[in-house]
Amino acid sequence: MDSETETQRLKIPTPADFNFTECLAILGRSDQELLHTIQDERITKLLATEDEMVLFDLSHSGSALHIEFLHHPPTEQGKQAVVRYVKDWFDLETDLQPFYAMAASDPVLQEVVERHAGLRIMGMPDLFEAFVWAITGQQINLTFAYTLKRRLIEHFGTSHTVGGVEYWAFPSAETIASLEVEQLRTLQFSGRKAEYIIHIAEQITDGRLAKDELLEKTEQQVEKQLVAIRGVGPWSAHYVMMKCLRFTSAFPISDVGLHNALKHQLGLEQKPSIAEIENLAENWAGWQAYATFYLWRVLL
């Protein structure tokens, strides 16, 4: 997908089956979010690249995402880093037609997918951020998870103030690897979660855990490697595989949100069991991640 480059602007074509408004519904679900702001269907985000901080606005019109760089234009490397990030963030390079074809005749998904057509899995291109979010969200509600994420960013992230507004980027693995457990406990992370997050930060920092290497492996190989990490069970592994590594067959089947969504969508008196979900998902092979994400959408 080519981008059209100017000094302050870039354009990234979007697929025909892309709905920016639906994606914004996901991105705007919490007023605790610090990593981007949304106003008048424009996203403003600060991206930490290898060598520079890039602040940009993102909007959609005419079958393209439009990137406008704020404050000052980045280097050519910075521009290309933003393009790669945005394509990954919005999962623009996944062909959803096979998913839509499957969902059209699926009794669970048909109505949900039709209502929210064009929604893409809003990802986390940064591997460390995806792991932190997966571990933070274990066994707590979404509101408190966002509170912890906000505290982590405010204490250890990088900020850039433009026009009196402070924009934030997620803490680097290197920064978190240098912390003591107690420094995260003071933010109300549990001792275990603090240990897990710091341990993963250390593995990413010293190269034992790398996104590029994971992407070269099969789903089964990746799952085996991830669940071997302290604090990473099947749910967390599949969450990272779904949101960062883009395995469309990743399936966080034990997810409480998925269970609540199925209960709501199917009008059940109680949440379905794992066995019942496996039965409902028989048609979803290869697309479990997208089925899950569309079902999460009904809870907003």
Which H/E stretch holds residue 275?
Answer: helix 274-280
Copy the structure tokens of residue 3.
Answer: 């981008």
Gap between the Cα atoms of 135 and 193, Å rounded: 7
Question: Can you give the C-alpha Rg of the chain in angstroms?
Answer: 19
Distance separating alpha carbons of residues 249 and 251, to the nearest angstrom: 6
The 8-class DSSP code of residue 245 comes to: S
Q: Which of 218, 276, 275 is nearest to 245 (CA)?
A: 218
Cα separation, 195 vs 145, whole angstroms: 17
Residues designated as active site:
255
166 token code pair: 């402070």
